[in-house]
Structure 1
């Protein structure tokens, strides 16, 4: 592993992409971390705000051709990353904490977002050449701004809610990085079928009534039944029972809306 730590950067993803353009032979598992990220990005260009020095902002380089050769899809890379980070978080959170994966690859604790993942792929012809995997984990920060589509939380906030002692100092930083990498390598060695099964087991909202929104702004109630190999979400609409498949950007969950499908 090659580790690059920066005091300040616009975005660890953007930095690693620039380095990769300059050094095409950059070794796999190169990891970029930053104390302060001034222009962090999430999915769909959403902002990722993090107080300097209080959260983990990291990006790692993968060459996941092995995953593709074993019958995997691009979405299986999302699954692999989400499961690895989930395993690392379970080691850091209070005992009994329930960590779920919100489709496609956010991580929630008690319905609150603790981690976001942004994967940017590079192709050579039609072959997946490299994946820049950005991971942002809320660690010490306990105060967040308004207007988040999913209420945020952090490792410290969860420890405080559980009546425990939140982490302090900076020893958590290196430990969390290595826990994520260790879990990533372990999950990467397992069959794609096992990754998919575990992802479904940990999938947030599966079998529960949720409120969804289409890009038009139209909202509807539905129940997640699963995720296809290509990453499309299967939702059974309520109360009609109609089943529909949605690709990313075609639907979003509204977790701040009170649920009453009978209305």
Structure 2
């Protein structure tokens, strides 16, 4: 979608728009969500099956990705106490989760289930239900 938007701009003689991807599938322009890419998935036998083939698009995906090198705070409940740690987004895991590097040089995988990722605030936290 990001490449298609750039192509339409070029073909119409207007400057290309800087459309960026917010993980996993939202399209942003100047900090505003302007669309999304619909992907469906099924979790079965400890595997996700996603209807979009990612590997051929991985390099292009990262070219317009918002999160490379982004530092975020991960909040976790630990014995009824909120613990925060700062991590730097490195990319995506083979499962499609965010891959992050902690200040302790430990790699971690950030899962979206039950979490809120507010990239404008640089914060990942547990959703309250």
Q: Indicate whether the TM-score tops 0.5.
A: yes
Q: Shift of residue 97 of structure 1? A: 2.6
Looking at both structures, which has the greater relative contact order when contacts are Cα pairs under 8 Å and sequence separation is at least 6? 1
Task: Flag structure 1 segments of 5+ consecutive residues without an equivalent.
Answer: 1-84, 134-187
**Which structure has more helix as a fraction of its residues?**
1
Displacement after TM superposition at 1:245 (Å): 0.8
TM (norm. structure 1) is 0.33
**1:107 matches 2:107:** no
- Measured on the aligned residues, the alpha-carbon RMSD in Å equals 3.8
Taking the aligned partners of 2:60 and 2:22, their CA distance within structure 1 comes to 13
How far apart are 1:255 and its partner, in Å? Answer: 2.9
Instruction: Tell me, in whole angstroms, the C-alpha distance in 2 between the residues paired with 1:121 and 1:249.
Output: 13
In structure 2, relative to structure 1, the CA distance for the partners of 1:221 and 1:113 (3 Å cut) is farther
**Equivalences for residues 122-141 of structure 1 within 5 A:** none
Larger gyration radius, structure 1 or structure 2: 1
- Identify the residue that residue 240 of structure 1 maps to in structure 2: 104
- Note closer, same or farther for the CA distance 1:220–1:113 as it changes in structure 2 (3 Å cut): farther
Deviations 1:146-186 (A, max 9, x none): xxxxxxxxxxxxxxxxxxxxxxxxxxxxxxxxxxxxxxxxx
2:57 alignment counterpart: 195
User: What 5-or-longer segments of structure 2 have no aligned partner?
Assistant: 124-129
Residues 1:110 and 1:223: Cα distance change in structure 2 (over 3 Å): farther
CA offsets per residue over residues 214-246 of structure 1, 9 Å max, x none?
A: 699865432110112220210113x43332012
Which residue matches 2:92? 227
Distance in 1 (CA, whole Å) between partners of 2:108 and 2:93 is 12
The structure in which a higher percent of residues are strand is 2
SS of aligned partner of 2:37: strand
1:95 to 4, 15, 22: 15
**TM-score, normalising length from structure 2?**
0.59
